[in-house]
Structure formats: structure tokens, C-alpha cells
Amino acid sequence: MVEPTIFHSILSREVPASIVYEDDEVLAFKDIHPKAKTHLLFIPKHFVASIADVTPETAHIPGMLILKAQRFAQEQGIKGYRLTFHVGKGGGQEVMYLHLHFLSEEKLKAL
Ligand code: AMP
């Protein structure tokens, strides 16, 4: 049984978020407590709780998130950025829905 998280509610639009990118596989939105000028979260539409839960069947998902983040940065003209997965409570993961942090000191272009 999947315990619904705040990111499930953002995905279903029950909770508003500042969405910056969406396609069939991912949603990306601004982190509500940004730790850099640009701080985004990329989440897969297919639920996985954490990197710790990735299986051979879902191993493509973290790479897919990285590729989406890379393309997004290229489109935005963002040259340098940091990508982070927090894994489990001990790794600082508070929301148990796999997400890739995207941090950059360069500002996003206006939508
Ligand atoms: P983590 O510590 O890796 O689980 O990161 C969870 C991130 O989600 C934190 O950086 C939070 O600031 C962010 N967050 C929590 N709730 C929301 C929300 N409603 N909208 C946007 N970001 C959120």
C-alpha cells in the first residue's frame, strides 16, 4: 500500500505548485523552501518512494530524471547546476516520493 505524499497531491493538482516543466514522464516544480536562486524538484509520474526502492524494472527512472533536468537546463541556458537525490531519512529525505533536486545560482528565465 502506497502512503500518499505531498508530491502525489501536487501531481494530481490537489495541492498547487509552481510548475516549470511537465511531459508524459515527469513533473518539475519550484521547491517551496529554495536553497539556491533556482531550486527545482523533478519527480517521475510513475511512483517510486526512494532510490533505496529502485529495482531492475525501475532503474531507468533516476537516469530519465537526470536527462530531463539536463535538457531543461540546456533550454534555460543554465550552464552550471547541482543534482541531488536524498536517500532515506538518514540521507535527509523527508518526502517519500523519489525526486531529483536541481539547484543553480542562475535564475530561471521568465515563463
Ligand atoms: P527531501 O528532503 O529530499 O525529501 O526534499 C523534499 C523537498 O520538498 C524539500 O526541499 C521541501 O522544501 C520540498 N517541499 C515540501 N513540500 C513542498 C511543496 N508543497 N511544494 C514544493 N516543494 C515542497
> Is 60 a catalytic site residue?
no
Instruction: Catalytic residue, from 60, 86, 99, 101: name it.
Output: 99
pTM exceeds 0.85: yes
Share of the chain above pLDDT 70, in %: 99
47 CA distance to ligand 1 middle (Å): 16
Selection from 65, 90, 59, 80 nearest residue 7 by Cα: 65
Q: Enter the C-alpha cell of residue 78.
A: 543554465
Selection from 105, 100, 91 nearest residue 21 by Cα: 100
For the chain, list the domains and their CATH numbers.
Answer: 6-104 (3.30.428.10)
95 CA distance to ligand 1 middle (Å): 7
32 CA distance to ligand 1 middle (Å): 6
The whole-number pLDDT of residue 66 equals 98
Q: Are 104 and 80 in contact (CB under 8 A)?
A: yes
Q: What is the pLDDT of residues 65-78, one digit of tens each?
A: 999 999 999 999 99
Q: What is the pLDDT of residues 1-24, one digit of tens each?
A: 788 999 999 999 999 999 999 999
Q: What is the pLDDT of residues 35-57, one digit of tens each?
A: 999 999 999 999 999 999 999 99
